């Protein structure tokens, strides 16, 4: 029989890791919201002709799929800023950023390619700035491509002050770090001293952004789907029932074939996609808030208001206040059930294991 203390340690570890990833992703969305506010500052807005937080860049051979950085900003007279945000260093960053640099065009429309302007810059932001050895590797790879425009690495971090919480942006002081084009926005990012954006200023913009351009992490998608998107699947009668009782008498049913039909909540500029919702439902399934019925090919959602979600008795230790947060409740249920009652990997009907086959990878003060 497994040691109970060992199980508790594993649950706590799963929860801690999920919470860290969740918070890091949340901070990345904060950064995009904060930058969207900065781009509305009068001096910068006069220069700006395009702000796109879902851009696509033309791929470079042998790639065929468009590249999807986190932002593209165009300013007069001919400045292009391509934005990518990271939590921390990954060895794949070098290849990814070099590809962004080698791309010659962006998609101005689904079938329309437009060349970048004469003054171009790739902005690479980190919550945890890489060490000099990794930065050396990055900039040497950039130099090897003979790219005649700068790569600028900066840091973004949430900091507390007398005037409230602020997201702080500052250019990294690494000796080979580049300098942005000489626009007002570029000058701000070139400053090693950096600049802050108060949370109060970007709070409203934050609610309109639910993901970066790539897939959202499963835990974040799960909490977001449960707290925001689920209500958009309800019939008129179910909405009345939720308003009166706080939960549904019978489960909300979502056919597998209709998972891709994702409603866009009102006022959201960058919503979840179909793949995000599928991963959210699978995460909620492990948290025992959703059931997948393979024979019926449907997801069944035991929908209820946050106050009806029970924190697992044998879950990770948290303060009473933390237990009240919906995200903590969902993450705690997921971590507890992942260790105690893991969902077995399902195999398609008729599939057989073949010798040598590898399993799929599993991923997991104001401005001015």
pLDDT at 205: 93
Kindly report whether the peptide bond that precedes residue 77 is cis, defined as omega within 30 degrees of 0. Answer: yes
Looking at residue 49, what is its pLDDT?
96
Convert the pLDDT of each residue in 137-156 to its tens digit.
999 999 999 999 999 999 99
The pLDDT score that the predictor gives to residue 168 is 95
pLDDT of residue 297: 87
Domain borders along the chain are 39-206, 218-340
For domain 39-206, give the fold.
Trna Endonuclease; Chain: A, domain 1 (3.40.1350)
Q: Are 139 and 124 in contact (CB under 8 A)?
A: no
pLDDT above 50: residue 71: yes
What long-range pairs does 248-253 form, CB within 8 A, spacing at least 24?
248/302, 248/303, 248/304, 251/291, 251/300, 251/301, 251/302, 251/303, 252/300, 252/301, 252/303, 253/298, 253/299, 253/300, 253/301
**Cβ atoms of residues 216 and 225 within 8 Å:** no
Mean pLDDT of 37-50: 96
Indicate the pLDDT class of residue 286, thresholds 50, 70 and 90.
very high
Question: pLDDT band at residue 364, thresholds of 50, 70 and 90?
Answer: very low
At 323, the pLDDT band (50, 70, 90 cuts) reads low
Higher pLDDT, 39 or 302: 39
Higher pLDDT, residue 211 or 192:
211
Phi-psi region of 3 (alpha: psi -120 to 50; beta: other; left: phi over 0): beta
Average pLDDT over residues 283-292: 93
The arithmetic mean of pLDDT across residues 102-112, rounded, is 94
Average pLDDT of the chain, as a whole number: 89
Do residues 70 and 212 touch, judged by C-beta distance below 8 A?
A: yes
**What average pLDDT does this structure show over 98-108?**
96
Please name the residue ranges forming H helices in the chain: 4-38, 42-45, 93-102, 132-144, 184-190, 199-206, 218-224, 236-245, 274-286, 320-323, 326-340
The pLDDT value given to residue 315: 79
What is the chain's alpha carbon radius of gyration, rounded to the nearest angstrom? 23
Q: How far apart are CA 113 and CA 102, in angstroms?
A: 15
Side by side, which strands form the sheet with 71-75? 48-52, 71-75, 79-86, 119-126, 151-161, 164-171, 195-198
Confidence category of residue 296, pLDDT binned at 50, 70, 90? confident
**pLDDT-based confidence at residue 321 (cuts at 50, 70, 90):** low
Using a 10 angstrom Cβ sphere, with 0-12 exposed, 13-18 middle and 19 or more buried, the burial of residue 167 is buried
User: What pLDDT was estimated at residue 356?
Assistant: 42
């Amino acid at each position: 029989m497994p040691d109970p203390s060992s199980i508790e340690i594993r649950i706590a570890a799963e929860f801690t890791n999920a919470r860290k990833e969740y918070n890091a992703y949340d901070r990345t969305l904060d950064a995009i919201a904060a930058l969207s506010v900065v781009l509305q500052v009068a001096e910068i807005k006069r220069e700006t002709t395009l702000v796109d937080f879902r851009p696509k860049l033309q791929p470079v051979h042998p790639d065929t799929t468009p590249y999807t950085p986190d932002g593209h900003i165009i300013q007069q007279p001919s400045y292009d800023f391509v934005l990518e945000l990271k939590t921390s260093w990954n060895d794949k960053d070098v290849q990814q950023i070099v590809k962004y640099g080698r791309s010659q065009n962006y998609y101005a429309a689904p079938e329309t390619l437009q060349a970048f302007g004469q003054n171009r810059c790739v902005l690479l932001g980190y919550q945890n700035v890489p060490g000099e050895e990794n930065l050396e590797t990055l900039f040497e790879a950039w130099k090897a491509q003979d790219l005649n425009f700068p790569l600028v690495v900066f840091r973004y971090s949430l900091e507390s002050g007398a005037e409230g919480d602020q997201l702080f942006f500052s250019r990294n002081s690494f000796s080979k770090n580049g300098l942005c084009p000489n626009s007002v926005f570029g000058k701000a990012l070139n400053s090693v001293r950096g600049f802050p954006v108060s949370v109060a200023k970007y709070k409203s913009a934050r609610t309109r952004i639910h993901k970066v351009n790539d897939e959202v992490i499963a835990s974040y998608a799960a909490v977001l789907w449960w707290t925001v998107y689920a209500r958009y699947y309800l019939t008129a009668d179910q909405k009345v029932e939720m308003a009166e009782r706080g939960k549904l008498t019978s489960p909300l049913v979502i056919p597998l074939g209709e998972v891709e039909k994702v409603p866009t909540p009102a006022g959201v500029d960058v919503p979840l996609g179909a793949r995000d919702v599928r991963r959210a439902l699978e995460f909620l399934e492990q948290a025992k808030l959703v059931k997948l019925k393979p024979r019926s090919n449907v997801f069944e959602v035991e929908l209820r208001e946050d106050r009806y979600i029970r924190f697992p008795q044998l879950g990770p230790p948290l303060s009473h206040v933390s237990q009240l947060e919906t995200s903590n409740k969902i993450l705690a249920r997921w971590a507890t059930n992942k260790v105690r009652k893991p969902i077995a990997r399902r195999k398609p009907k008729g599939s057989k294991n073949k010798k040598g086959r590898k399993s799929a990878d599993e991923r997991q003060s104001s401005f001015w």
